[in-house]
Amino acid sequence: MSEVLNIEKIGQITDNAISEISKSVSKDEISNLRVKYLGRKGIIPALLRSIRDVDVVDRKIFGQELNVLKNNLEELFEEKINQNKEDLYLSDKEKSLQDISLPGRKKNVGTLHPTSRVVREICDAFLPMGFQVVEGPEIELDKYNFELLNIPKDHPSRDMFDTFWVDWKNDQGEYPLLMRTHTSPMQARVMETTEPPVRVLVPGKVFRYEATDASHEWHFFQVEGLAVDRGITFADLKGTVYEFARTIFGSDRKIRFRCDYFPFVEPGVDVSIDCFICEGNGCRVCGKTGWIEIMGAGMVHPKVLSSVGYDPEIYSGFAFGMGVERIAMLKYGIEDIRLFYSNDLRFLKQF
């Protein structure tokens, strides 16, 4: 048997390696040991090279022994690294710079943005009444934002919606794309692809080319509602909106409907609740009127129904749309809509 390599030597190396690896703690120590044993000039490769000096009869057995040892050490290194990943992540130098007496860094745990919170509250109020939540594109076609909603080109009611147009012309020289000015386009999109009955809620972001002030933002959120079926009447609209208002603003709310004009509904209304701050006596929030407007609504216009292929002789429906920030401002007493998107943590942390 060769002097260079014998079973005892392999046993001794095995023992040393195991004890050194198990004592090692830092990333540097482990990687140094790996180089020492398994590196190109390390102990194990040197032993493997020395096999050629061993008697031919013993070569096979030593070869096997050394390969087993090599694999075992690989495994040990692997285990060691996984065992203590976090610790190993720091080099010795980094560790020596750690001052464990310093107070820990507090992790900032985020909360829901007030808009998201109120979108959820609004949806939760309608879900028990059988509404389903759907979302639509923020960049919309003129066809859905206006035309299918009974707002033809050059109709004056387009002025109600100060529109950001997308600077892209089609082959006919038209600009068909815009940033949606309301969530109502989803009424047409849903009806186009669904047979009645339909009962959907559409939360989402909308855009208006407007100067900003305490009650106007150039982008904000709306929640749209639409219900279409046989025999739906204005009484269904009233009941649904009443239920919503009482869920969000308190069970003793009163509700008021007044005529208003929206091209896609007939009749159209604006819906108000009695002021929950002054109980209807008149204060700053309700502009001394005792009433607070919370949404636009109405019975879906027969033209809208036929434009999506529904027969208005058979089907009828109601629709409503409300501004989410407005609801949030009322609920939480927020006085300036610009606070929502100015990323001031002093404001956001209150929610």
Write out the residues near ligand DAH by the rule CB under 6 A: 182, 184, 224, 262, 265, 268, 296-298, 319-321
Short-list 335, 326, 328, 300, CA closest to 315: 300
Nearer to ligand DAH (CB atom), residue 5 or residue 319? 319
Residue with tokens 């809620």: 201
CB atoms within 10 A of CB 41: 8
Nearer to ligand DAH (CB atom), residue 182 or residue 326? 182
State whether residue 256 is helix, strand or coil.
Answer: strand
Nearer to ligand DAH (CB atom), residue 30 or residue 179? 179
Nearer to ligand DAH (CB atom), residue 44 or residue 227? 227
Residue 216: CB minimum distance to ligand DAH, A: 13
Residue 318: CB minimum distance to ligand DAH, A: 7
Short-list 117, 315, 106, 348, CA closest to 223: 117
Q: Containing H/E element for 17?
A: helix 7-23
Residue 270: CB minimum distance to ligand DAH, A: 8
Task: Please give the distance of CA 89 from its chain centroid, rounded to a whole number.
Answer: 32
Nearer to ligand DAH (CB atom), residue 30 or residue 190? 190
Residue 167 DSSP one-character state: S
CA distance 101 to 163: 58
Nearer to ligand DAH (CB atom), residue 270 or residue 274? 270
Residue 265: CB minimum distance to ligand DAH, A: 4
Nearer to ligand DAH (CB atom), residue 196 or residue 268? 268
Residue 280: CB minimum distance to ligand DAH, A: 24
Burial 96-129 (b: 16+ CB within 10 A, else e): eeeeeeeeeeeeeeeeeebbebbbeebbebbeeb
Short-list 287, 286, 295, CA closest to 327: 295
Strand bridging mode 139-141 / 291-300:
unpaired
Residue 141: CB minimum distance to ligand DAH, A: 16
Residue 317: CB minimum distance to ligand DAH, A: 10
